[in-house]
Structures are given as structure tokens and as C-alpha cells.
Structure 1
Amino acid sequence: MKQVNVDVAVIGGGTAGLGSYRAAKAHTDSVVMIEGGPYSTTCARVGCMPSKLLIAAAESVHQIEKAPKFGIHPQGEIVINGREVMERVKFERDRFVGFVLEGVDEIPAEDKISGYAKFLDDNTLQVDDHTIINAKRIVIATGSRPAYPAVWNELGDRLIINDDVFNWDDLPKSVAVFGPGVIGLELGQALHRLGVETKLFGLGGQVGPVTDPEVMAYANKAFNEEFYLDADVKVESMKRITTESGEDRVEIQFINKQGELETNIVEYVLAATGRRPNTDKLGLENTSIELDERGVPTAD
């Protein structure tokens, strides 16, 4: 087992980890960064940047559809080529990731440790089965991952998270989005505008990050004028099925806004039901760090 002694150890090589590493290096050369997965950032790979590319494509369609109100009449029907849309999204996404990786490549190899870190005590980390790190200071920058009910795993590859959207080669015909938060709303609206049959479902009536009741009611009304949104749906059942033509689909039975049982069959269920912090496998119980009810270190 290799032994390493440093001033600062940063767990995680994403946005916060890279920023922490550079900030620490401004004060000491004795810094390591530990990363178990691919380098790059959530923002560049599967977050803000590719989602805004998808939204930009959707906005282009939306502006063309609105053009006649201004006396501008595009000739012929609007044709949305899903393969071309996703090809551009992935090309630009990969370019953004490349910029991040260029920065990672500039970090000295001896400062990068590959593997998953676990606390042995307040100042000691074990990385997989190959390295023990003793550090005066340790930065936890492990990010988060999507969270959804475990029973949904029965849907197999028909269940996707926002990360998966940006690996599509083509746009699907239909999607049910669960979770009308920021991620669910922006992806749901973009997919709808790009011609995907989209229904958006939530629980509890919350729409986006809005807290004012009047603003939320207006937001709910505005979104519903464009596509189906039920922010407090009652789902009776959701299961994977095989259609008569042999296609894998998801059948959702829910009580619609008229109080009737409705059956909706979609290609994918997109889980945008929140995220949970990646702190559960760090061995924080081996430290004196104060944790909140979710097992996450408390921050002032």
C-alpha cells in the first residue's frame, strides 16, 4: 500500500474539485486530487451545457412557429431531424468536455490519484486498495447523483436520467418526465418543442423552484398551455411492456385532470426527481464530522 503525505487532499475531480485543487495550489504545492470516475464536470458532460444546446434547438423551432404573428411566413412545413439535433448537441458537448480535459491534462500526474477514497479517520484516506493518504486538510467535492424510487429500476433501459438524454442518437417519439423541477421543466419543454410527445408529472404541486403561490399558479398555467403538466398526479401503475409489434415501452396509468383513469404508453420515463449527494460511501462515520439527518456534513 503506497503512503502519501500532503497538506491538502481533494476528493472529486469535477467543477468543485478542480476549483478547490487550483485554490489550494495557490498556497501550497502539496496537493492531490482523487477521482474514481471520468474527469470533467457535470456541467460540461451532462448538465448545463448540453441541456442549453438542446434548448437552443427547441427555441429555434419555437421562434419559427411564432413568426407568422409578426407577418413572417416560413415556406413549407417545419422538419425536425432528430438525428441532426442530437449530433450537434453531442459534438458541441464533446468540445466543451475537451476544454475541461485540457485543463486536467495540465495538472501534474503525481497530483492525480485514480480511485475511490474512504475516510479511515479525520486526516487519513484510503484510495481503493492501493494508496493511504495522510492530509492536514481534506476537501469533499464528490458531487451528486440522480435519485428516484428504487422500484423504477424494474423499467430497465426504458428508465433514463438527464445524463442519458445527451447520449441519444435520435429523438424518441414519446417521453414521460417525472419531476417538474428545473431539470424536468427545461428538458420536458425542449423535447416537446422538438416534436416529442411529452407529459410532465409531479407530486405535491410544486412547479420549478418557485415559492410564491401566485407565481407558481401562473407558471403552472403557462406551462400547461404548451404541454401536459400535472404537478400533483396520482399514478395507479407504471410498468414495462412489449407492444404487439415487439417494441419495449412503458405503460403508465394515472388519474387525469378530469378525474378519469388514463393510460399513456411512452418510449422512455425520464426521472428528474431530484439528486442526492455522493457522500454515502465515504466512510464519514469514521470521522468526527458532524452530519445532518441525510448523512451529509453540516455546513455553516
Structure 2
Amino acid sequence: MSTYDVAIIGSGPGGYVAAIRCAQLGMKTAIIEKYDVLGGTCLNVGCIPSKALLDSSHHYEDAMKHFEEHGIEISGDIKLNLKKMIERKASVVDQTTKGIAFLMDKNKIDVFTGMGAFKDATHIEITNGKKKETIEAKNTIIATGSKPATLPFIKLDKDRIITSTEALNMKEVPKHLVVIGGGVIGLELGQVYHRLGSEVSVVEYMDRIIPTMDSAQSKELIKVMKKQGIKFFISHKVSAVSKKGKEVTVTATDKNDKEVTFKGDYCLVSVGRKPYTDGLKAENAGVKITERGMVDVNDHLQTNIKNIYAIGDVVRGAMLAHKASEEGVMVAEIIAGQKPHIDYNLIPGVVYTWPEVASVGKTEEQLKDANVEYKVGQFPMRALGRSRASGDTDGFVKILSDKKTDEVLGVHMVGARVADVIAEAVTAMEFRASAEDIARMSHAHPTYAEAVKEAALAATDGRALHI
């Protein structure tokens, strides 16, 4: 029987990063993955493939609608080859997962393929078909991730009533895609297929889309996406989903309790994700699972069993790949006797629609609820030379700072490339910068990031230069 200092169950962005960091710290490390490829949900059926389709569909839409205004004339019809688009997506995924396999080999991490399950607190049985083997681990990190959630009355047939996994491998462009859920996944995939020619209807239970982000971002994004042609039905509670042949019917009630029906050829159920612990047999190790299906952990991501930790989507907090990676590093360093920490307030959130949406820190609603006195500085993207040059004039940057100290408390953006620009805000807030600190930094011209400086100027004393 092989013995390891650390065994990681799950090879997503939390698991594989934890494995690398453990190996860097001199620990003999094993990683267990039930599928034949490494990378988990993010690399295989989440972050990476969805961004590949978002980029491909963006190119197609530009060719169809925007090239002419840039002086690019295309003779003949522009044709969509969905099969090739999906194949390119698969190629991107393949390259990325092979990169993870290379990193495991480079760091001398033993990879086990099969379902990992606890026999007890220090032994893990790995089942791959009829083959079974057991390893011993002084420490174990649970990194089993999450899977798409659904509603109890919805029967997912993975043909017409689908999750994000199936939406990444469509064989045809839907005529009418009904999306249940106005969160990140539903909006991103809804925009992909709308660009490719689908009618898209988004049905959302809450009174706004992306409800966990700042309300100003919700208002801006729904305004822009409506302008693009996507239909939204806010404050609608779905009560039934049925299929007859190739037609799917979604029944909902609006805020006035009036019944509304939506008929489409596909229905994407994107109501969030839930922790995945199936087959883990956590009870054999005595690990506590919460009523919500999460692994219960303390502030050090340690379970009630001292040598077993858990990270990523399977524990509390935002289900984000980069959050899982940070936790993987933290746990590796804790096991090695170091004292790392994570400031969860500074984990950014991003929606990869176009325009993109990005946030870090407190929203205006959160500051109001906490009775914190704050200042607001906001700058529209349309006032930037860079935005006008690229034609991406939707959106804004909004900075919230403490009224007394001027410390930046939250930064919220909608616009081109804000998924990258948000890192500036994270850096500033990590070092507890004031709005004036950001306002006094030189920003290259012309760039989208100049909007951050202008919003900081607006928050400092209302002296933004270009509005």
C-alpha cells in the first residue's frame, strides 16, 4: 500500500493547485480523479469551454453586425459552422487538461484515476471499474467540487431540458432557448446562443439579474442585453417544465400571480450549482456534512477530523475557480506549518458576457445594510477615448469609499475587458488604498483602465476630468 503525506480527492482548480503547492513544499502527494482527464468542472465543462464559445460567438457576431462599420467588407454569405466551433472549444479544453497532466508529472505528483472514497480517516479506496486499490494518506484534502442544481419538479432529460454541460455541446442552434435563471451561467450561455441566432428568453425568480452583485451592475447589464435582443422576465417563479416532442413548455407565475407560459425547443436550467460529495463516503472518516450538502469546515478549512480538509465548491462561500485555487494553496501551506490567510472580501467576481461585469468588495446595498457611511464615484465608459475607438461604450466603473477615511470599500464595473481591469481594484484594496491613492496613479492612455482613475477622482472630491 502506498503512503502519502497528502492525498487530494478531485482535480479541479482547487485540487490540482493544492497538489502542486503540496509538492512544492516537499510533501509526497497523490491526486485522485474519477474521470479520465484532469481539471474538474472548470476546465472540462465550465470556465474554459464556456469562454471559448463566448469568444467564438463574439467573433461571429462582430462579423455579422460590426465589421462593416470598421470598414471591413465581406463578400458572400457569412456562414456559421457550429460543429467546427464546438470542435475548437474541445481542442482548447484538451490543450488545457493536458497542461494540467504535464504539471502533475513535472511536480512528481502521483495521479490515480477512479472514484475516491474514505475507508477511514487515513485510508482512501479508489475504484476504477472492477479495479480497486487503497492508499494511505496522513492528510486528505476534499476538492470534489459541485454539479448543476435543478428544481425538484424539473426532470432533466439532457436532450431538450438541459444543464450547462449539455449547452456546451449543442448539435444545433436552438430556435428559442428558454433560460431558467438570470445568474452568471444562464446569461453567458444565453448570450452565446443569441449571438448565433437563437431567440433567448431569460426567466428569473428574483427582481433582478445577477442578484448577488451591485444593483447598478444589474440595471446596466439588463439594459444592454435587452438592447442586444435578449428578452427578460424578472420576478417570475417557474412552476413546471414539460416536453412534448421537440417542444419544451416552461410555466411560471409573475409578480401579480398571473400564469405565463414560454414555449421553446430547448430549456437551459441554470439555477446554480450544488456541492458534490456523492460516493465520497465521508461518514466512514467521520467527516461532518451540513444540511445543505457542504463539507463543514472551520476558518482553516479543516473538517471536524483534524487531518482532513476541504476546499472549493464543496465548502461554504462563492463557487469560483480562483477562490478554490486560493484555498488549495492555503490548505497546503497550513499542512506544512505555515500561517497563510485569505481575505474573502477581496475575491473578485466576474460575468463574462459582453460587456463584461466585475466586482470586488462590498456592494452599495451591503454598505447601506451595515450603516457604513460611504462616498460614490462613478464614471461612464462612453466618456473614454479607448471605448469609443473600439466601439465598446456601454458600462461604467463605480468606486465606493469610506466617507471618513477614503479607504476603497468596493469597486464595481461593467464594460469591455473589466474582467482583467478588476485586478487593479483588488490590488489597491489588498493594500488598503484610498480613492485618492488610485486617483493619483498614472494610467496609460488610451485604456479602459482610465475609467478606474476617473471613478476614483469622482469619489475623492467629485473632480473627474472627462465628464
Task: Summarize deviations over 1:163-222 as a string: whole Å, max 9, x none.
Answer: 222323443333211221111111111210111121111212342264333432333333
Distance (Å, rounded) in 1 between the aligned partners of 2:74 and 2:258? 40
TM-score by length of 1: 0.82
With structure 2 as the length reference, what TM-score do the two structures score? 0.55
Q: Please, which runs of 5 or more residues in structure 1 have no aligned partner?
A: 243-247
Match of 1:219 among 218, 221, 225: 221
Please give the alpha-carbon distance, in whole angstroms, between the structure 1 residues aligned to 2:269 and 2:176. Answer: 14
Q: Is residue 239–residue 252 contact of structure 2 (8 Å, CA) maintained in 1?
A: yes
**What are the within-5 Å matches in structure 2 for residues 256-267 of structure 1?**
262-267=260-265
The yes-or-no answer on 1:99 pairing with 2:99 is yes
State which of 12, 28, 31 in structure 1 corresponds to 2:29: 31
Cα distance in structure 1, aligned partners of 2:81 and 2:115: 41
Instruction: Say whether the 8 Å CA contact 1:10–1:21 is kept in structure 2.
Output: yes
Counterpart position of 1:86: 86
Distance 2:218 2:209 in 1: 6
User: Counterpart in 1 of 2:316?
Assistant: none
Shift of 1:146: 0.9
Q: Distance in 1 between matches of 2:117 and 2:101?
A: 25
Contact 1:182-1:209 within 8 A present in 2 as well: no
State the distance in 1 between where 2:120 and 2:297 align.
17
For the pair 1:44 / 2:43, whether they are aligned, the reply is: yes
Structure-to-structure mapping, 1:193-204, within 5 angstroms? 193-204=195-206
Which residue of the other structure, out of 121, 134, 140, is the alignment partner of 1:132? 134
Once the two structures are TM-superposed, the CA of residue 156 in structure 1 deviates from its matched residue by 5.3
Tell me the secondary structure at the aligned position of residue 32 of structure 2: strand
1:146 aligns with 2:145: no
Superposed displacement of residue 147, structure 1: 1.0
Residue 119 of structure 1 aligns to a residue whose secondary structure is strand
Residue aligning to 2:385: none
| Counterpart residue type for residue 20 of structure 2 | R
Amino acid in the other structure paired with 1:7: D
**Corresponding position of 1:14:** 12
SS at match of 2:38: coil
Distance 2:192 2:139 in 1: 43
CA-to-aligned-CA distance 1:147-170 (integer Å, 9 cap, x gap): 112432264522222122232344
Please give the alpha-carbon distance, in whole angstroms, between the structure 2 residues aligned to 1:77 and 1:175: 25
Q: 1:29 to 1:153 in 2, by over 3 A?
A: same
Structure 2 counterpart of 1:278? 276
Is the deviation greater in 160-169 or in 180-189?
160-169
Which whole-Å CA distance do the structure 1 matches of 2:238 and 2:17 have between them? 42
Structure 2 Cα separation of the partners of residues 273 and 70 of structure 1: 39
Shift of 1:70: 5.9
Q: 1:193 to 1:118 in 2, by over 3 A?
A: same
Pair 1:286–1:162, CA change in 2 (3 A): same
User: In 2, distance between residues paired with 1:135 and 1:96?
Assistant: 28
Shift of 1:118: 2.2
TM-superposed deviation, 1:145: 0.9
Tell whether the 8 Å contact from 1:15 to 1:40 is kept in structure 2 after alignment: no
Give the conservation status (yes or no) of the 8 Å contact 2:20–2:104: no
Determine the C-alpha separation between the residues in 2 that align with 1:79 and 1:171: 13
Would the aligned equivalents of 2:235 and 2:254 in 1 still touch at CA under 8 Å?
Answer: no
Task: Give the Cα–Cα distance (whole angstroms) in 2 for the partners of residues 13 and 6 of structure 1.
Answer: 17
Q: 1:34 touches 1:115 (CA, 8 Å); kept in 2?
A: yes
**Matches of 1:169 and 1:94, distance apart in 2:** 19
Counterparts of 2:78 and 2:261, CA distance in 1: 30
Match of 1:114 in 2: 113
After superposition, the Cα gap between the structure-2 partners of 1:134 and 1:86, relative to the gap in structure 1 and judged at 3 Å, is closer
Q: CA RMSD in A?
A: 3.1
Letter in 1 for 2:81: N
The amino acid that maps onto 1:55 is L
Provide, for residues 227-260 of structure 1, a one-character-per-residue CA deviation record: whole Å limited to 9, x for no partner.
1122322335321102xxxxx3312244579987
Q: Is the 8 A contact 1:155 1:239 kept in 2?
A: no
Q: SS of the residue aligned with 2:213?
A: coil
Amino acid at match of 2:86: M
**Candidates 229, 239, 244, aligned match of 2:242:** 239
Task: Flag structure 2 segments of 5+ consecutive residues without an equivalent.
Answer: 300-467
1:66-108 CA distance string (max 9 Å, x none): 4555676666665433334333333333333333344456676
Q: Secondary structure at the match of 1:58?
A: helix
Distance apart, 1:140 and its partner CA: 1.0
Aligned match for 2:169, one of 158, 167, 170: 167
Which has the bigger relative contact order, CA under 8 A and spacing at least 6? Answer: 1
Letter in 2 for 1:114: T
Q: Which amino acid aligns with 2:235?
A: D
Structure 2 SS opposite 1:100? helix
Contact in 2 for aligned 1:236/1:255 (Cα 8 Å): yes
Partners of 1:91 and 1:127 in 2: CA distance? 29
Between the aligned partners of 1:273 and 1:97, the Cα distance in structure 2 is 27
Distance 1:86-1:256 versus aligned 2 partners, 3 A rule? farther
